[in-house]
Amino acid sequence: MTLVLSYRSPGPVPIEIEGVTPQALRGETLDEIRRRQIFQGNRKVALGDFFAVSGDSADESLRLEGELSGVHWVGAKMQRGQIYIDGDVGRHVGSEMTGGRIEVAGNAGDWLGGEMHGGRIRVRGRAGHLTGAAYRGSARGMTGGTILVAGDEGNEIGHTMRRGLLVVGGNVGDLAAFNMLAGTILICGEGGIRHAAGMKRGTLAFLGQWAPELLPTFRFACRYQPTVLTVLLRELRLLGFPIGDDLLSTQFDLYNGDLIEGGRGEILIRTDDSFV
């Protein structure tokens, strides 16, 4: 039976529930869960002061309900199990998680999957800035796992990303794949400027009918149909992510860069006649 936390006291002061994860709650009684310490701003409070608690924690399945846009760090450092968020949610969802699955029915805030190491996050709506990114001063961002966002994203997604897969169904802001070390980012919509600046390795692919203006430190290499990308797109379809049949046979222009960092990264740009 799923453990259900229903947020009942939304207000102007944000709530942080770092540490409230399926593996941490397993085996605790409902009263023990209600007494767990969380933060309201800089003040420690009991989880039960803000959430109605019901169900059972034994199967490591957690459901959060209510207006959660002011609730942050959901699923942070999660190791296993699953979390379902029934609506919008705040910042740092799945930060530093190493395993398990998180599904967001609505929108997510900034730092989605920040420095994530494993597991899978899926957002049915949009997300904010710095998805899969490194925290300021850190040597690397996302190092593994999968993030799927159906809608739009903000700036600096995949900042200093080291490994893993990030897929965006909508548009993105500026500086996607900034300082990227490795990994894969797929973008189905349009974007801003200065993508992949400082890229060392990895792949940034634009799958939609829009070609970004690249930095002058990227050089055209060839036009081809990447077999690995086709296999990856088929896997995404199995996960229910909308991938059109045309993408499975599309050719891409390959650009290498950032030449300032050695030129071992790659940007793939779709080459349909329907491009604008």
The CATH number linked to 178 is 2.160.20.60
**pLDDT value at residue 228:** 95
Find the mean pLDDT for residues 150-159: 98
Q: Is residue 13 domain-resident?
A: no
In a domain, 29, yes or no: no
Mean pLDDT for all residues in the chain: 96
pLDDT value of position 11: 81
| pLDDT (mean) for 79-92 | 98
Q: What percent of the chain has pLDDT over 70?
A: 99
* Radius of gyration from C-alpha coordinates of the chain: 20
CA angle 243, 244, 247 (to 5 degrees): 95
Three-state secondary structure call for residue 165: strand
pLDDT of 273 higher than 60: no
Q: For the chain, how many structural domains are there in total?
A: 1
22 in a structural domain? no
Is 37 domain-assigned? no
**Cα separation of 270 and 273, whole Å?**
10
In a domain, 86, yes or no: yes
Q: What is the pLDDT of residues 113-125, one digit of tens each?
A: 999 999 999 999 9
Q: How many whole angstroms separate alpha carbon 164 and alpha carbon 26?
A: 28
| Residue 65 belongs to a domain | yes
Cα 34 to Cα 13, 18, 51, 53, distances in angstroms: 20, 15, 8, 7
Does 265 fall in a domain?
A: yes
Confidence of residue 213 (pLDDT cuts 50, 70, 90): very high
Which range marks the domain in which residue 175 is found? 59-270
Beta strands in the chain (DSSP E): 3-7, 15-16, 37-40, 43-46, 51-55, 61-65, 71-72, 82-86, 101-104, 120-123, 143-149, 163-168, 184-187, 203-206, 219-224, 252-257, 265-270
In a domain, 52, yes or no: no
CA angle 97, 76, 46 (to 5 degrees): 150
